[in-house]
Amino acid sequence: MKTLREMLAEARQAIREEGPEELQARLASGEPLVLIDVRDPDEYRDGYIEPAVNISRGFLEFRIGTAAPDPSVPIILYCQTGLRSALAAKALKDLGFPNVINLAGGYQRWIQSGHPTVKDSPLTTDQIQRYSRHFLLGQVGEKGQRKLLRSKVLLIGAGGLGSPTAYYLAAAGVGTLGIMDGDRVDITNLQRQILHRTSDIGRPKVESATETIRALNPDVTVVPYPHRITVDNIAEIIKDYDLIIDGSDNFETRYLVNDACYLQRKTNVHGSIFQFEGMATVFAPDQGPCYRCLYPVPPPAGLVPS
């Protein structure tokens, strides 16, 4: 009969092991991979490595087909210390998966190396109902919804672009919405700026925006910034957000948002509109162009009506 030590040694012979740094590099590169947490569900609930799915050891062979439909994509397994997952990786190897990797040292060493983990709070009964249509979408599901609830998005401008954007993100359950706008509601805003109502005329836009969003979805924490974004406040404000949405209405702000987002490695979702024409794109630092690649210099004053 084999001892546990012999079984582990045999497993390690057969599989590849990588440390936390290598996994971090793979995750940062965005390469396709399947990350599986093979611990028990209660361990996973206490914290896991994003974007791992939880398939506990006992179910692995039964569920791996669904979790890893393309066998050529690397499968990385981890457990608490790297032992259970070494045996699990060997089992997958024996099933014929060619590219199985065990995270050496497991979750424990990952944490000790200072890498981030996430912890999901359980969804309430109301949340399960509210987001049930998202759960039906394979690409969102419960996991995606939890991620949305943990996400922080900053909207620069609560006007014609920021209004519908904020409203839809709030409905979808994006957990934190920062809303920045120094203006007050004017009657001429109301035919398109759907966060604000007739009774809000004269009030700061961030106030009416906050009320409308809270009434729509109490899960959303709104952080109001009742002033303009400037060179003095932008770095401090955007640093806490995962994503910046530029719904501003002037070129100076757009260049400022673009530059600050690039320098702080924040993705900037950009939209603009003129009369009947709208456009949208995403500026992700070093993954694609920035606003200055698109518009090296602003149009001469007077060319563009304001």
Interface contacts to another protein, rule CB under 8 A: 148, 153, 157, 159-162, 164-165, 167-169, 172, 174, 193, 231, 234-235, 243, 245, 247-252, 254-256, 258-260, 262-263, 267, 269, 271-274, 276-290, 292-300, 303-306
Q: Which is nearer to another protein, 74 or 162 (CB)?
A: 162
Q: How many CA atoms lie within 13 A of 161 on its CB side?
A: 23
- Distance, in Å, from the CA atom of 24 to the CA atom of 33, rounded to the nearest integer, reads 12
Q: Which is nearer to another protein, 59 or 295 (CB)?
A: 295
Query: CA separation (Å) from 134 to 34, 131, 162, 203?
Result: 22, 5, 23, 34
Query: CA separation (Å) from 25 to 19, 118, 170?
Result: 10, 18, 32
Q: Which is nearer to another protein, 15 or 154 (CB)?
A: 154
CB of 247 to another protein, least distance (A): 7
CB of 60 to another protein, least distance (A): 30
Q: Which is nearer to another protein, 70 or 286 (CB)?
A: 286
Bridge-based pairing of strands 53-54 and 221-225 is unpaired
Q: Which is nearer to another protein, 12 or 266 (CB)?
A: 266
CB of 205 to another protein, least distance (A): 10
CB of 252 to another protein, least distance (A): 5
Strands (E), 183-230: 221-225
CB of 148 to another protein, least distance (A): 8
